[in-house]
Amino acid sequence: MRLRAGVDLGGTKIQVVIVDDEHSVVGEARRPTPTSGGPEAVAEQIVQAVREAAATADVEPSELVGIGAGSPGAVDARAGTVAHARNLTGWEGVFPLGPTLTEAIGPPVHLANDVDVALDAELALGAAKPYSSIIGVWWGTGVGGGIILDGKRWDGRGAAGEIGHTVVRLNGAHCPCGRRGCLEAYAGRAAMETRARRLAKRKRTSLFAIMEKRGRTQLTSGVWAQALEEEDALALALLERAVAALGAGVASAVNLLDVEAVVIGGGLGTRLGQAYTERVSAAMAPHLFVPENPPAVHTAALGDLGGALGAALLVLDRGANTKAPPRQARASSSSR
């Protein structure tokens, strides 16, 4: 049995899967992302998570065919480095994540951008399977994105797909990227939290009580989801604002590229699920230039494990294992 590992490195958690040739998950582990100690601490936690996942799959970590890892920040796949992973504490510089993991565990490590691998997974195994042209919208802390045209990812000059920084309002809200009016300034979880903290001073909301009860220090997707269940007025209003911005931004991208489908993933997209996918779809409608022929809009089908499953696919694309089933999409090699 040739087993591969996939690592999804996120701002709050490290998710690892061990998969077989059929992409079935045969082992799994999840650990919180360290918030101190910088990239070294994160790498050490990944090593522990891979070992733990390998143990649940009954395989020695050194016997894995390869390890794929999806990471935020600027990924240099060739060098195996990650830089400017802004959602991870203390990761401003360039860190040799690939070589560090290989040295500790043994198998070759293949890196790519986290959103790219998640979209590749949806294309190969999930909601985007029937389509050859797709816009992926990864709705989480920020709003990431990816573009598939003719079955291949469109990288542009390395930075394509940043749908979160398309402008939905001139001179609009401040975006975490430092600019104004970006989609992410309205729909990104980080921007939504900043606004919620400001508005909570004069509006009643249970958002922060829920956060504390869950032992969190940030408004996670789970906190937002629970506030919605409790029909918290501020949470509802902020999500409505986010949906309106997503409708405008995604519809504009569809007007430009005329893709067959839009896949909505990411922490919030996955957590809020089908109901919110439908709301985004409805919010897109008035902005579509050809409203009688809208694209299909789906929630990412692989859910929480999409990033890790996509990362495991990197081993097939880049590794020596050529016996594995072929994929629709080519390897993720972005360095954005």
Q: Which residues bind Zn ion (CB under 5 A)?
A: 165, 175, 177, 179, 182
Q: Which CB, 182 or 187, lies closer to Zn ion?
A: 182
Q: How far is the CB of 280 from Zn ion (least distance, A)?
A: 19
Q: How far is the CB of 47 from Zn ion (least distance, A)?
A: 34
Q: Hey, what are 29's tokens? A: 């582990």
Q: Which CB, 144 or 310, lies closer to Zn ion?
A: 144
Q: How far is the CB of 244 from Zn ion (least distance, A)?
A: 17
Q: What are phi and psi of 218, to 5 degrees?
A: -135, 160
Q: Which CB, 4 or 165, lies closer to Zn ion?
A: 165
Q: What are phi and psi of 323, to 5 degrees?
A: -85, -15
Q: Which CB, 80 or 188, lies closer to Zn ion?
A: 188
Q: Which CB, 165 or 318, lies closer to Zn ion?
A: 165
Q: How far is the CB of 166 from Zn ion (least distance, A)?
A: 9
What is the CB neighbour count within 10 angstroms for residue 54? 24
Burial 229-250 (b: 16+ CB within 10 A, else e): eeebebbeebbeebbbbbbbbb
One-letter amino acid at 119 equals L
Q: How far is the CB of 249 from Zn ion (least distance, A)?
A: 11
Which distant-in-sequence residues (6+ apart) come within 8 Å of 36 by Cβ?
89, 90
Q: Hey, what are 209's tokens? A: 């009580």
DSSP string, 94-143: EE-HHHHHHHHH-S-EEEEEHHHHHHHHHHHHSTTTT-SSEEEEEESSSE
Q: Which CB, 179 or 213, lies closer to Zn ion?
A: 179
Q: Hey, what are 106's tokens? A: 């043994």
C-alpha 299/C-alpha 224 separation (Å) is 17
